[in-house]
Structures are given as C-alpha cells and as structure tokens.
Structure 1
Amino acid sequence: MFCSCKIISRVSFSVYSRRYVLKIFLNIKNSDSLRDVFNLYFIITTYFSCYLLGSIYSSPGLYSKTMTPTYDAHDGSPLSPTSAWFGDSALSEGNPGILAVSQPITSPEILAKMFKPQALLDKAKINQGWLDSSRSLMEQDVKENEALLLRFKYYSFFDLNPKYDAIRINQLYEQAKWAILLEEIECTEEEMMMFAALQYHINKLSIMTSENHLNNSDKEVDEVDAALSDLEITLEGGKTSTILGDITSIPELADYIKVFKPKKLTLKGYKQYWCTFKDTSISCYKSKEESSGTPAHQMNLRGCEVTPDVNISGQKFNIKLLIPVAEGMNEIWLRCDNEKQYAHWMAACRLASKGKTMADSSYNLEVQNILSFLKMQHLNPDPQLIPEQITTDINPECLVSPRYLKKYKNKQITARILEAHQNVAQMSLIEAKMRFIQAWQSLPEFGITHFIARFQGGKKEELIGIAYNRLIRMDASTGDAIKTWRFSNMKQWNVNWEIKMVTVEFADEVRLSFICTEVDCKVVHEFIGGYIFLSTRAKDQNESLDEEMFYKLTSGWV
C-alpha cells in the first residue's frame, strides 16, 4: 500500500539497479532532518525500483527535545540506530550512518542501459514524469513495485551544513554524479576529469568509511560533548586571513577587460576597454585616463544571465552576459587575462545579476569558490609526483560520460584522472562531496528545468526554463536565452486548467502566457510555487515548516 507523500512521517525506500544499491531515508513531516524535504519528489523511470518498507510513524527528527543535534560529530550521520529513529522500519535493524556512504558504480553496463538525453528536447521530456505532490501515489495509479526514481526537485538547497547533513549531502552527490555521467548537464573536458577524480577519491574513502561503520556500529557517542564541541566552534567562528574593510563603502573593480559584442555578419573580435564595476553596473572607457568622463558603453547587470566559458589549458577566461532589454537580450562577452581577475569579475557579475553589490557578505566567498573550482582543474606539472598505482582499481567507464570515452582510450583517461586526483587527494570524504556538489552548481546549465512550451501568439514549440529565481524563454535548438523574467519582479501567476495555460504577470505590465505541450501544466505550476515558497525561507527563521503555505502555492487550489 502506498501512502501520500503529504501525510507520511517516516518512510524507508530501497532503490535497486543491478548491483547498485542506494538506500535513502526520508523524513517527510519533520523539516529539521531534511530542511528542504519538499524538494524530494518522484519521477517515473525504467531503471530504479522503489519499495515501501515503512508505515506512518511519529518523527523525532535530527534534534533532541532540547534542540541538541543528535548527529555524529565525525561524519555528520545520525548517532544511533534506535527504534526512536526508525520505528518498525527495516532501517532500525541496521546502521543509519550507512545512508551517508556512497555506493560506487561497479559495472559500465549500468550506465550503458540508462537513458541519456541527446538534445535539449530530450532533457525537457525527462520532466514529463514528475508526480503530483498534492495527491497520493495510489491516486496517481502508481502500483506496488512500480519503477520510480527519487530526486531533489528544486535546485535550492536550504542551509546545507556538513556537520549534520551527511545523508542529505550524499543524496545530492548521487544526483549530481548521475547528472554528470548521463550527460543531463554539459561540462567541459577539464571539468569532466575533475569530476571523475573527485568521484574516484570519494569511492576510495567511502569503502573505508563503510567498513568503519560496520566495525563500530555499537560504539557509544557522548552527545553532550559533541554538541558542546560544535557550539564552541560556532561561537568562536572561523579565522579569517583578510582584514575587514570599511563596511560603509561599496567595493569597486577597475581593470582592462576585453569586450566583445557578437553580431551577425561581422568579423570584429574583442576590443580592450578600461572597465569599472560599480554597484550593479559596468562602465567601459577607451582608456584609464578617460575614466573620469562619459563611458563609451555602460550596462546594468541586474536581472542578466551570467554564463562562464573557461578553458584552463587554453587560458581562456570568458564571461557571457545576456542583458535584458525591451526587445529581448543583449549579448556581451567579457574576456579576462587570468584566473584572479576572472574570479573577481565573475563573482561581481553573479551578484549583480541578483541585484546585489560587492558589499554583500557572500562576495569574498564567491571569489574563493571560483578560484577553488579552477584550481581543481589544473593539470599536475610534474608527472613524477603521481604515485605508481595498479590501474585495475580505477575503471574510467564508470567515472566518465560516454562522450569522452569515445574520444580517448581508457589508458589515456585513467592517466588524466590520476593526474587530476592530485588536486583533491588530501580532501576528507565530506569535503570531497561538498566540492563535487559546488562544482556541479557552478556549471552553466545547473538548476534549470526545461519544458517544451508554445507561447501565446507563437506557432512553433520553444523551451521554457525554470530556475530558482527566474523564468527563461529559450531557443529549442541552441538553448540560448531569448528572454528572462525574474521572480522578484513577478506580481502573480495563474493557471487556466481548462486550456492548460500558465499566465505570469510581471511588473511594468509584462504578461507571459504559454501552454506546455508535453507535460501537465500542474508540474510547471508546482515548480513556480515551490521556488516562491523556498525563497521565503531564511536561516534566522524558526525550524518549523509552513506546510499549509507550501500546498497553497503548489496544489492549484486555495
């Protein structure tokens, strides 16, 4: 018997695909254990089978009654597999910490038989299978032993903390790993080798961690000491290597940047300008000496699309900007000279697109994340530093997507993976998974869910992309953004359930109407409402989750 995801309090699933076994623990009612639990939904596939093992139980969550986090201070997994945690489910007999351990792909046949989208339209068709969160599985004709896949639906991960989110981090890592290997998201060759190296490193550490959990499943842990240790770290705060600047002034950037405006039937390339970045705008001058006068070009990046175009070996550090204007989007390319310059300007562009300035506290962290992401892609300059290893313990067919397997021989890929591994070899297991997730989030296509749509007044099918903060009208053949609308400018959205049309109204009398041709409009409605709901959450709010508001925004009725 399948129960509604709306009322289940604790459910255990086992997901099988040949030898690959992924056990996932869900806590649907309690928002403390999985802060973005409503990101988890089901999409029908032909590759995984989900079986309901549990029933409806009370849910104590990952916190004790005194709000003390009951997690392992070492790896972030739940402390003890007691019946208070899992009720009568099968997991009460095992170690819940094993849920934080990744299971490596052991056979290339698993990848070979799974669906891989060949075009953007294929990616859009994947989203046809999302089930309705407002109705039970039984109501949606899901039978016992039906093939289902568990995924995070919304790409907005609330308060992800390595200290107590080991299970959730592992779930996100698994989703990111499969997205990379199945080519659901594009990445460069250097990025692929970096992902493969991280995956190889995680596989090695996971085997050690799994053995450790099996050998120490009955060990006692002092919960008070663990909580006090974490409290001490929180109160002391992290040490910073930089001195805080004047918080009353907004930082600025000024440097020579190459600027390119691509136009049809033109052979003109990049032109160097002295560029200044103030607030959310970039001003371009012909020279530094003229920067006190009127700029040759000026662009406000608020609401723009920011896409990286980087090749480490080719020393290419480009930033692609799609700036919204009345008639569509203006495309501008910025070329930086080195990694440091690129990291600062890219971080500033990303913040400006959200309407934030470099005075925002996240700016320096964004710069460091970009530099760290680039560093992991560096090739080892000294091949002798790579230790001699038996290559039988590394299977490139399980670490790299088919596109690159066709391009290189296995020995070549193995050598490159081991070379890239030198950049991540010192990372802990949880750090490696977090870096994998962060690198996944840094990819240009991350967080965009595609749907095939026909816009009002249009005759051909196009793509509508939904991200955590915007709607994107896209060219179905190239994937280029035609127009972007920010949720922050949205006044309201409505659904005409009879003709299956979604209408979104924005500020300045902008109105967008479209019909989804190959998916129920309820799916699109849930994505919009879900992201609006998640945008209202903040770390300083209490731990309770307003479920009523969530269903009001996503169910389709008030």
Structure 2
Amino acid sequence: MWNAEVSSVPKEPHSCFIPLLKKFLGIAQRHKTFKSRAMITAAEYGETSWELAVHVDQKHGDESMKFKMRVKGDLHIGGLMLKLVEKIKAPQDWSDHALWWDQRKCWLLKTHWTLDKYGIQADADLRYTPQHKPLLLQLPNMKTVKMTVSFSSVVFKAVSEICQTLNIRRSEELSLLKPPYDPSKKKKKKDKNSAHDDIWDIDLLSGGPGGTGPMYSKTMTATYDPENGMPVSATSLWFGENPLAECQPNLPPAELAKMYQQLSLVDKANNNAGWLNSSRSLMEQDIQDEEKLLLRFKYNVFFDLNPKYDAVRITQLYEQARWAILLEEIDCTDEEMLMFASLQYHICKLTMSSEPLDHSNEPEIDEVEAALSNLEVTLEGGHTDRILEDITDIPELADTLRLFRPKRLTLRPYKEYWFVFKDTTISYYKNKEASIGEPIEQFHLRGCEVVPDVNVTDKKFGIKLLLPVADGMNEVYIRCDNETQYAKWKAACILASKGKTMAYSSYKSEVKNIQSFLQMKSLAPPPGHAAPDLDAMEMNAECFVSTRYAKKHKTKQLTARILEAHQNIAGLSLMEAKMRFIQAWQSLPEFGINYYIVRFKGGKRMRFWESHTTV
C-alpha cells in the first residue's frame, strides 16, 4: 500500500514550482533595480534642482510677470534675486525690490540665507515686489495724504520715517490705526471718488517719486540738538513753514452731523482693537497698496512740547483733541464743551486773521550764550525740577475740607474734617485740635488716580481719588470751598500719585495751570467787560460744538455763551490757545482710558476692560 502511494509521486517533484520561482525571481530583480535607483537618488540629492515660481510686481498698475527658475536648496536669497533680474532683462532700478513669501507672510530680507534655511521648496509662492509702496494716511487734522511708506520695515520704524517726512518730532508717540468699519460706505461709490479729490500727494510736493516740487528740502537736513532733540536755529524757519502747522477750517454743521456717530462701549473697544502691531511690518498685517490708515497719537503722553520747534506736532495734537471733542469720542460736560468751543473760536479767528509766519521780527539769539546757559543749567541740575535746598523742609497743606465715601443705599452728605497733606499721604481728623493725635484714616496716594469733579458755574470744586487696594479701587470724594483751595490740593494729589511731594518746584506751575484752566471754564465775563456783540461773531457757533450739544441750544443762545467764555481767553496767542486746548483735553476724566473686550479664564461671557495709557 505504501509503495503504491510513493509510486504515484512525479519523478520531478520541483517541476510544478518552476513558474512560481520565476515569478519570485522577477519581483526580486525589479526590487533590486528600484533599490539601486533609490540609492543613486539619495547620493545625488545635493545636486538635484527644482523649478521655483516667482511673480514680479510691476509699477503703475501693470500686471505682474511670472518666471520659473531652476534652483537648488543651497542657493542664497541674494543669488536668487540676481538670477531673477538677469532673466527679466529689464533696464530699471531693482534696488528697492525684495522677495515676499505669500504662504508664510514674511519678507526674505536676509539675503545670505539659503533656500533650505528658509524652508523654501517647489510649492513656495514668492513675489518680487517693491519694499516701499504708496499708502493713504489720514492725519489727526482729518486731512488725507498720499506718501510712499516702507512695507518691509516694522510699523514702529515706518512711523518714524513718516514723521520725519512730515517734520513731527517724538514719533514714538504715534502709531497707525485701521479705520473703523462702516458698512454704509460700501454703497456710496461716489463718496469714494470725491474723497480722492482731496488727497494731498506728499511725493509730488516733496520731489519724491513722480514729483519735483520742493515742499520739503531734501538737501537741507534738520540738525538736532543732542541734549534736548530740538532742531538748531538754522532749520527752525524750515520747520515753521510747514503747511501742516496750520489749522484746518471748521466744517459746516451739516457736514459735521454726517461724521457724527454715537459710540457705545462695544464701538470704542472695536476701534481700539484696530491699532497695528508696532513690531510687525505692514505687509505682515495684510495692508495693501494705497490702503487708508489713520495716523494718530496713541499713548496720550506728550513729552517736551516746545511751541517754537513743534508747530506741526502741537497743531496735529490740537486737531486730534478737537475732533475727539466734536465727535464725542470723549465725554465732557456742557461747561467744558463751551470752554472748548471758545478756544476753537479764538484759534480759528487768529488763524484767519494772522499773516504768514515771519521770524524777522523775533529777537536774535546768541548761539554761544544759549549754549553756555544750557550747559550751566545742566551742570547745576537746573532750577525747574530742583528740590528745595533743605530736604526736610517739605511743605504741608492743612485745611477744613469735606469728605464723602460712596456706599450703597446711602444718602449721607459730605462731612467736614480737618485734613493734613504731608509727603504723599492725606490724613484727616475730627477737627483741628484732634490733629495732634492719631488720624481717623490715612490715604496713601502713590499710584492713585486723580479725577476732577468740577463745575465752575455751580461753584463745585471736587476731587475724586481712586485708591488702589488689594481687591480693586476705593473711591473717595473730597470737596473744596473755592478755586484757590482746589488748585493747591489737586496739584498736591497729582504729584503724590507720581510719588512726588510738594517740595518739587513743578508744584507751583501745576497750581497755576489748574487755576488758568478754571478761569477758562468760567462762563462769566471778566469784570469791566461789556456784554458781547452777537453780530461780531462772523462764524457759525454750531461749528464749534458737537452735534448733540448744538441741538440743545438755539443758535443765538449758543453764540452768546461762546462769546462770553471767549472774553476770558481773548488775550492768548495762537500757540498758547492750542496748548491750553491740549491741556484741557488732557484734564478730562476719560482722557487716556481705552476699552477692550476680554474673556476671563473659566468665564462664559465677554466683559469690558478699561486700560489707562497715561503716566
């Protein structure tokens, strides 16, 4: 039986496996060939190249050109631009062009870096585009200018170059802001065309790209004093002749009403979110050619305002403050609105009547004497901020004031106490005789916020103190009896909030500024002045107040009140009036407050957050 089974097996048992073996041998041969090819590719990896597409932007609205170049990973950016220019074969200046990577939204400005170091591969989309492009800038005076701006530099540096062109010192105080979104403007195509008619092309006037007119001298470079940053006398005339130093005329009430929009807290927060990032370039923040941006003073801290050398800066500050009042971007009382209106009327009147700026009548200054005086002040420490010779002789304030601490469900009025202000601390006692003992309470004012609570017409002179505590801010109201008392105590509170005492000589100047501010807010004419003539005001009074305030009063009534308030400031010069307007704007309670929409960790709802940008 066994033998029969064995005999049934074929004589060549491997013959049935021959096709299968051939199949496996074929697969092995193909795998060997593929492996050898793969090994060759890996060995020759450094010598391989690929095609890279680069779009070249043209000027004057021409369509961009597209070029494909075969490159290697070890090619540096400078070599890539050189190959591209050789391939374009166009005789023009390419020095301002640079490569922009669309996918990564970044400039390839490090020309010594290779493509591999940047991570550029065949799928990269590069643009060879100018670094300086035209941009529309709305200045604080609502005037729109067109100028060439660097789109590759960070915004901080770009703003510095803009301010240098416009002759505005302290460029760090300004920044660029996206205009608030207005859906109604999409439907108004005619307004867009009419707006372009009012654009002032700086490049044409300054002899820049496309222009030859010498508005700003390119050969005359402003030389600044290294001590205080002021331009020397040789260029002071050049700085004074800048047309941007002139105030813009007030708009008619109808035009002002079109611009007015009632702003809610959400609107204010959204507008504040439009500030560009100062550490990134314009292209990195999706800003396009000829897009409109707002140039504004951002940080509300204005250093070293000098009327002689800062004509443009002061005028633009005044214009930003004026429009903030007229458009009610910052709240103010009716009394303050009339004060601002009288200052505007005075400035407008002087601007229309004044002749072009002439420095020939100014007394000549001996440069050597001025330099020696400056050196003497520097070596002696100066007298403006010098502390009293005896550091222990720090002035004190002691007087009877009224105190009120707001609490819920209370109608308790102000209560009189004896107050003593020493160093940076306020102590109050039951009466003067009790001041030799322990005080009822002490207020440490370092880091606090001082908010005026004043109504000159109603003889209300109050100071609101926001004292920092662990769980927030404590509110304290102090009421003074008269203007003199209010000026002294408020000036002391302002210095104490900055950690300074009344020993600083700036205390006296602060008191004078507060007194002059109260005098401006007084609507009653000075003694000995006759009632104002309503026909003497040739301008429309409604141009100097906000639209909402103009609706409250009749035109004749508004004119009479503005003229009465104007008599208190009629003796101010043009630059003094602008400075007073800026100081009054800074003294408003809401000045320097910005709003943000935030979401706290673990919270479901968004909330508003206030931030103060003043120091």
Same fold (TM > 0.5): yes
Change (3 A) 1:22 1:236: farther
Give 1:142 deviation, angstroms. Answer: 3.0
- 1:41 alignment partner in structure 2: 175
Q: Partner residue of 1:28?
A: 161
Q: Which residue of the other structure, out of 481, 484, 497, is the alignment partner of 1:337?
A: 481
Over 3 Å counting, the alpha-carbon distance change for 1:180 and 1:24 in structure 2 is: farther
- Mapping of 1:463-482 within 5 angstroms? 463-468=608-613
Contact 1:196 1:417 in 2 (8 A): yes
1:388 aligns with 2:533: yes
Tell me if 1:286 matches 2:446.
Answer: no
Distance 1:144 1:245, change over 3 A: same
- SS of the residue corresponding to residue 449 of structure 1 reads strand
Report 1:114-513 matches (<5 A).
Answer: 114-209=259-354, 211-213=355-357, 225=365, 227=367, 246-378=390-522, 379-380=524-525, 385-388=530-533, 390=535, 393-468=538-613
8 Å CA contact 2:338–2:561 kept in 1: the answer is yes
The answer to whether the Cα contact below 8 Å between 1:9 and 1:29 also exists between their aligned partners in 2 is: no
CA pair 12-299 structure 1, distance change in 2 beyond 3 A: same
2:238 maps to 80
Larger Rg: 2
Q: Does 1:102 align with 2:247?
A: yes
* Equivalent position amino acid for 1:468 in 2: T
1:251-273 CA-partner distances (Å, limit 9, x unpaired)? 11110110011110112111100
The 3 A distance-change label for structure 1 pair 261 and 307 is same
Q: 1:8 to 1:338 in 2, by over 3 A?
A: farther
Q: Look up the equivalent residue of 2:281 and give its one-letter code.
A: S
**2:388·2:504 contact (CA, 8 Å) conserved in 1?**
no
The Cα of 1:204 is off from its aligned counterpart by 1.4
SS where residue 28 of structure 1 aligns?
Answer: helix
Q: Which amino acid aligns with 1:158?
A: F
Name the SS of the counterpart of 1:264 in structure 2. Answer: coil
State the distance in 1 between where 2:135 and 2:361 align: 25
Asked whether the equivalents of residues 9 and 58 of structure 1 are also in contact (C-alpha less than 8 Å), the reply is no
Distance 1:339 1:51, change over 3 A: same
CA distance, structure 2, for counterparts of residue 262 and residue 65 of structure 1: 51
Separation in 1, partners of 2:163, 2:547: 40
Residues 286 and 114 of structure 1: is their aligned pair in 2 closer, same or farther, counting only changes over 3 Å?
same
Task: Specify the code of the residue in structure 2 equivalent to 1:431.
Answer: E
Which runs of structure 2 are paired with 1:516-555 in the superposition (5 Å)?
A: none
Q: Displacement, 1:34? A: 3.9
Cα distance change, pair 228–205 in 1 and its aligned pair in 2 (3 A): farther
Residue 457 of structure 1 deviates from its aligned partner by: 4.2
Q: Which runs of 5+ in 1 are unaligned?
A: 82-94, 471-558
TM-score (norm 2): 0.63
Measure, in 1, the Cα distance between the counterparts of 2:415 and 2:402: 5
Change (3 A) 1:221 1:114: same
Q: Secondary structure at the match of 1:332?
A: strand
Asked if the contact 2:468/2:474 (under 8 Å) is kept, the reply is yes
The structure whose residues are more often helix, as a share, is 2
1:104/1:236 CA distance change after superposition, 3 Å: farther
Displacement of 1:96: 3.8
Q: Which amino acid aligns with 1:79?
A: L
Higher relative contact order (Cα pairs below 8 Å, separated by 6+ residues): 1
Identity %: 51
> CA offset at residue 193 of structure 1?
0.8
1:28 is displaced (CA, Å) by 2.4
* TM-score in terms of structure 1 length: 0.69
Aligned-pair RMSD on alpha carbons? 4.1
User: How far off is 1:352 after superposition?
Assistant: 1.6
Shift of 1:118: 3.2
What are structure 2's unaligned runs of at least 5 residues? 1-58, 61-95, 97-105, 107-129, 148-158, 186-194, 210-216
User: What residue identity is the alignment partner of 2:176?
Assistant: F
CA distance in 1, matches of 2:162, 2:455: 45
Shift of 1:398: 1.4
Partner of 2:74: none
Q: After superposition, give the CA deviation of every residue in 1:510-540 in whole Å (9 maximum; x if it has no partner).
A: xxxxxxxxxxxxxxxxxxxxxxxxxxxxxxx
Query: Shift of residue 456 of structure 1?
Result: 2.9
